[in-house]
Chains A and B, each alone.
Chain A
Amino acid sequence: MMAEAGRHAVFIWSAYGITTVIAVALVLRAVLDHRAQRRALARLEAAGAAAPGQETGRV
C-alpha cells in the first residue's frame, strides 16, 4: 500500500493529510465552542440571571 502508492504518493498523502487537518479543525472548533458557551451559561446562571428550567423551550 503506502510504499506502492508510487511516484504520486506525495499527492495522495497530502490530499489525505489536508483533509485530516480540516476535519480535526472542524471537530476542535465544535468542541471548544461548545465548551465556551457551556461555561458562559454556567457563569450567568450562577450569577442568578435566570432559573435554568425557565428558559428551556425557547431558543
Chain B
Amino acid sequence: MLTRLANPATFMRVSGYALPVLAVAAALLGAYGLYLAFLASPADYQQGETVRIMYIHVPAAWLSLLFYSIMAVSALGTLVWRHPLADVSQRAAAPIGAAFTLVCLVTGSLWGKPMWGTYWVWDARLTSVLVLFLMYCGILTLWRALDDPGRAARAVAILTLVGAVNIPIVKFSVEWWSTLHQGASVFRVGGPLVDPAMLRPLFAMALAFTCFGTALHLAGMRTEILRRRVRRLTLLQAERLERAAA
C-alpha cells in the first residue's frame, strides 16, 4: 500500500481525491468546534472567558509538533531510502509547521496578557516553543539558500534530524533553567482544562486543525511535485535550445 502510494503518479491521483474530503472535513469540524467553543461551553472558573483562546492555542501547539515529526520521518525517508516523495513531503511541511508554531506563540502571548499581566513570560513551555520556532526558521532558511532540490533535501534532512535530537534537550534545559529562576508566579497552562464541557470543543478543534493541516500538506506536496516537473522540463528545454544553436 505504502510503496504503491509512494509512486508520485499514484500519489497525485489518490491525493486528488483525498484533498477535497479533508478540506470539507476541516471546515465542518471547524464550524462545530467554534460552535462548541463559543456557544456551548462555559467560562472557566479560574481563567474566565480567556479559556476560549486555549481552543486554538492547544491545537496549534499539537500541529507544531506533529509537523516537526512529519518532517523528521520524511527526513529519514530522504536519507535512508532516498525517496523523492520524502523530499517533497519535507519541503511542503516546513512552512505549514512554522505557521502553526507562530499561531501557538501569538495566541499563547494573547492568553498571557490577561492571565499573567504580561504578553511574554519566560516560562518553560513558551520558551521551548520559541526555540522550536527558531528551528523552523533555520530549516526554512536552508531550503531557500540551496538551489538544487535533491541536495537541499539531504541537507535539510540532516538539520531536521539534529533538531529532533535537540528538541528534548532544549525542553529539559529550559525546564531546569526556569525552575532555577523561579520568580514570577507561574500559572500552568492546560492544568485547569479538565471539565468535559471544555474537552469536547478542544477535541473538535484539534481534529479540525489536523484535517486542515493535512489538507495543506497534501496540497503543498502536489504543488511541489509540479514545481519539480516544471524545473526539469525547463532544464530539458534549455538543453535542447543549446543543442539546436550549436
Considering only residues 1-28 of chain A, those with a C-beta below 8 Å from chain B are 1-2, 4-6, 8-9, 11-12, 14-16, 18-19, 22-23, 25-27
**Is A40 within 8 A of B53, CB to CB?**
no
A17 and B60 CA atoms in complex are apart in Å by 14
B52 CB contact (under 8 Å) in A12, A29, A56: A12
Q: Determine the main DSSP class of B at the interface with A.
A: helix
Residues in A neighbouring B28, C-beta threshold 8 A = none
Chain A contributes a number of interface residues (CB within 8 A of B) equal to: 38
**Is B39 within 8 A of A1, CB to CB?**
yes
* Closest residue of B by beta carbon distance from A14: B110
* Closest residue of B by beta carbon distance from A37: B226
A56 and B219 CA atoms in complex are apart in Å by 18
Residues in B neighbouring A4, C-beta threshold 8 A = 49
Q: B216 within 8 Å of A by Cβ?
A: yes
- Could you tell me which A residues sit within 8 Å of B by CB distance? 1-2, 4-6, 8-9, 11-12, 14-16, 18-19, 22-23, 25-27, 29-31, 33-34, 37-38, 40-41, 44-45, 47, 49-50, 55-59
